[in-house]
Amino acid sequence: MQLTKEEFKKRLERKLDNYFEEDVKSASNSDLYAAVSAIVRDGYTPQWRRIRIAETNQKQKQVYYFSIEFLPGTLLKSNLLNLGWLKTVREALADLHLDLDKIAAAEPDMALGNGGLGRLAAAFMDSLASTGYTGNGNGIRYKYGLFKQKFVNGYQKELPNDWLKKEDHWEVRRESKSVLVRFGGKVNMVDDNGWMTPQYEGERVVRAVPYDVAVVGYKDGLTNTLRLWDAEVPPEEELNYPTITDRRRVEDLTSILYPDDSNYEGRLLRLKQEYFFVSAGLQSILNYYTKDLDNKDLTKLPNYVAVHINDTHPAMAIAELMRLLVDEHRVDWDTAWNITQKVMSYTNHTIMAEAMEKWDVNMMSQLLPRIMQIITEIDRRFCVGLKGHVSDDVIERTRIIKNGQVQMAHLAIIGSHSINGVAALHTQLLETKVLKDFYNLYPDRFNNKTNGITLRRWLQIANPELSDLLDETIGKNWRNDSDEMLNFEKYYHDTKVLHKLSDIKLDNKKKLAKFIKERTGIVVDPTAIFDVQVKRLHAYKRQTLKLLHILKLYQDLKAGIDHPKRVVIFGAKAAPSYVFAKQVIKVINETANMINNDPDVNDKLKVIFLEDYDVSLAERIIPAADVSEQISTTTKEASGTSNMKLMANGALTVATMDGANIEIKDAVGEDNIFSFGLNKDQVYKYYAEHSYHPREMYENDAVMKKAVDALIDGTIPNCSAEGQALFNNFLGDNEQFLVLADFEAYLRAQAKIEQTWKQKRLWEQMSLVNIAHSERFDVDKTIERYAEDIWHLKKLEVEKADR
Enumerate the active-site residues. 349, 535-536, 541, 641, 645
Residue 135 vs 659, nearer CB to ligand GPW: 659
Residues 6+ apart with CB under 8 A from 247: 233, 241
Residue 117 vs 395, nearer CB to ligand GPW: 117
Interface with ligand GPW (CB under 6 A): 114-117, 120, 261-262, 311, 349-350, 355, 422, 451, 637-641, 659
Residues 6+ apart with CB under 8 A from 281: 64, 66, 138, 227, 229, 307, 317
HSE-up of residue 126 (Cα within 13 Å, Cβ side)? 31
d(CA 265, CA 558): 44
d(CA 286, CA 283): 5
DSSP 778: B
Q: If DSSP codes are grouped into helix, strand and coil, which group holds residue 655?
A: strand
Residue type, 669: G
217: which strand partners? Answer: none
Closest CA to 648 of 753, 773, 763: 773
Cβ(314)–Cβ(410) under 8 Å? no
Backbone angles phi, psi at 269, to 5 degrees: -60, -35
Residues 6+ apart with CB under 8 A from 792: 61, 306
Q: If DSSP codes are grouped into helix, strand and coil, which group holds residue 749?
A: helix
305: which strand partners? Answer: 62
Backbone angles phi, psi at 98, to 5 degrees: -120, 155
Shortest distance (Å) from residue 572 CB to ligand GPW = 13
Cβ(415)–Cβ(404) under 8 Å? no
Shortest distance (Å) from residue 537 CB to ligand GPW = 12
Buried b (16+ CB within 10 A) or exposed e, 50-75: bbbebbeeeebbbbbbbbbbbbbbbb
Shortest distance (Å) from residue 779 CB to ligand GPW = 11
Cβ(628)–Cβ(535) under 8 Å? no
Q: If DSSP codes are grouped into helix, strand and coil, which group holds residue 454?
A: coil
Cβ(768)–Cβ(501) under 8 Å? yes
| Alpha-helix runs per DSSP H in 690-759 | 694-700, 702-709, 720-731, 743-757
DSSP letters spanning 243-261: SHHHHHHHHHTTTB----S
Residue 349 vs 500, nearer CB to ligand GPW: 349
Length of the chain: 803
Residue 114 vs 770, nearer CB to ligand GPW: 114
DSSP 165: S
| Alpha-helix runs per DSSP H in 533-632 | 543-558, 579-596, 615-621
The neighbour count for residue 49, using CB atoms within 10 Å, is 11
